[in-house]
Amino acid sequence: MTVLDGVRPDRTAEVVAAVAGAEFRTQWDAYRTIVPLDPAASSVTAAVAAIEELGAAGAAPGVCYAMTSQLFGLAHPLRTMLGPERHGLIDGSRVLCHALTEEGGGSDPLSMTTRAEPGPDGTWRLSGRKAFVTAAPVAQTALVFARTAAERTPFSLTAFLVDLAAPGVYRDATFPKTALVEVPMGVLDLDGVVVRPEDVVGGEGSGLAVLTTTTVWERGLLLAYALGPMRRVLDATVAWAREREQFGRRMGTSALVAGRIADMALALHRSQVLVRGMAARFEAGESARGLADAAALTKLSVSQDHLAFAEQAAALGGVRSFVEDTGLTADLLGPAAGLVYAGPNDLLRVSVARGLGLPVEN
Ligand SMILES: Cc1cc2nc3c(=O)[nH]c(=O)nc-3n(C[C@H](O)[C@H](O)[C@H](O)COP(=O)(O)OP(=O)(O)OC[C@H]3O[C@@H](n4cnc5c(N)ncnc54)[C@H](O)[C@@H]3O)c2cc1C
């Protein structure tokens, strides 16, 4: 007997309701009956559409964020880098995490201190601490970036697939978050963890190239998770403005109120067009390298629109925006986190300007 017994498989809203408030893995397993997390199971555009519908049905944003991050930031890009015999790792049956950030260096990956030393028979031994990793406390496998050369060059890093049940992996420390609270965030402490040669992704020294590919996918598509919640908030705000009476008339008769709502619709429309457009380009087979600038611009635009949208909604909801369970409760911290993850927006701006030919450095 599972929580989904009796739920029709085509009913997203029923699935979401059946696991409302459940712990992470229960929601994850239920939601992946709607959004297949195996990159071979559906097209990119179909997956983006399913993620939007899941969010629009009221699914937990943190779980949707983690699923979207796994599907597009890990499974799709890794599918082309791993042999078919390794595809079971990325078919969605396991929770994955992307372990890049360290406490000493977030924006600057080349400052990382986690290191991998070569061992006998082509094995590697990983030691160091990764921090602020989404889903680290609940994941089974991590893509870990580690230093394999001391120098600061584009070839100093290597990416490894690490089984988180392996001896030497510790993940006791967590970071109680204020944004995307339905997915836990934690550390990975690695103490001489042995990694087999077949779990090196892309070859020694190609970590930065692997990271470029995973982040282009993520920047282009991660904010698909925001589209459904934006639709829900827009619908709730329109209904509120139509009904609420102030100054002897309905709130929605004010042109200022209508203008804010039109701005919200514009932010949602622009975000849908951009994310769906990126999905179509990945699906058409365009390379991650060729899509780098478009993905950075998409992440910048959608994350900024998501936050501006949330601010408009919060203003229109009045006090109810700041009271739980009013139907208008605002989430400002989830959208604000979008300014930071998958590449802080100011660093993306710098990279876009560099791509245009400016001699600007990070
Ligand atoms: C919700 C969430 C989920 C995350 N999940 C993961 C995960 O799964 N795996 C993972 O590895 N990491 C994850 N992170 C961490 C994220 O990748 C880092 O927060 C990010 O790389 C920035 O690093 P930092 O926070 O240490 O910021 P810092 O490097 O300390 O920088 C702070 C801010 O200063 C500004 N800044 C710094 N240097 C410059 C510069 N040269 N030019 C312009 N601006 C600059 C930027 O605005 C930046 O946001 C997550 C973060 C969030 C918020």
Q: Which residues contact 100 (CB under 8 A, 6 or more apart)?
A: 109, 112, 130, 133, 145, 211
Q: Is 362 in the pocket of ligand 1 (CB under 6 A)?
A: yes
CATH of the domain at 245: 1.20.140.10
Domain boundary among 58, 90, 122: 90
Give the burial string for 226-238 (b: 16+ CB within 10 Å, else e): bbbbbbebbebbb
For residue 254, which of 269, 239, 242, 266 has the smallest C-alpha distance? 242
CA-closest residue to ligand 1 atom 26? 106
| Same-domain check for residues 79 and 114 | no
Q: With a 6 A CB cut-off, is 158 part of the ligand 1 pocket? A: no
Q: 218 and 201: one domain? A: no
Rounded Cα distance between 192 and 13, Å, is 45
To test the pocket of ligand 1, the residue of 97, 101, 141, 180 to mutate (highest count of ligand atoms within 8 Å of its CB) is 101
Range of the domain at 327: 212-355
C-beta 337 within 6 A of ligand 1: yes
- Output the CA 107–ligand 1 centroid distance in Å: 5
193 plus 280 within the same structural domain = no
Q: What is the number of domains present in the chain?
A: 3
| Residue 36 covered by a domain | yes
Residue 5 lies in a domain: no
Domain final residue, candidates 68, 90, 112? 90
Asked if residue 187 has its Cβ within 6 Å of ligand 1, the reply is no
In tens digits, the chain (362 residues) has pLDDT values of 566 666 565 789 999 999 999 999 999 999 999 999 999 999 999 999 999 999 999 999 999 999 999 999 999 999 999 999 999 999 999 999 999 999 998 889 999 999 999 998 999 999 999 999 999 999 999 999 999 999 999 999 999 999 999 999 999 889 999 999 999 999 999 999 999 999 999 999 999 999 999 999 999 999 999 999 999 999 999 999 999 999 999 999 999 999 999 999 999 999 999 999 999 999 999 999 999 999 999 999 999 999 999 999 999 999 999 999 999 999 999 999 999 999 999 999 999 999 999 999 98
Do 77 and 108 share a domain, yes or no? no
* Pocket residue to mutate for ligand 1, from 341, 347, 348, most atoms within 8 A of Cβ: 341
Residues 296 and 231 in one domain: yes
**Whose structure tokens read 């910048």?**
300
In a domain, 360, yes or no: no
Structure tokens at 32: 């992946």
Strands 200-201 and 249-250: unpaired
Token output for 242: 């139509």
Distance CA(223)–CA(271), nearest Å, equals: 8
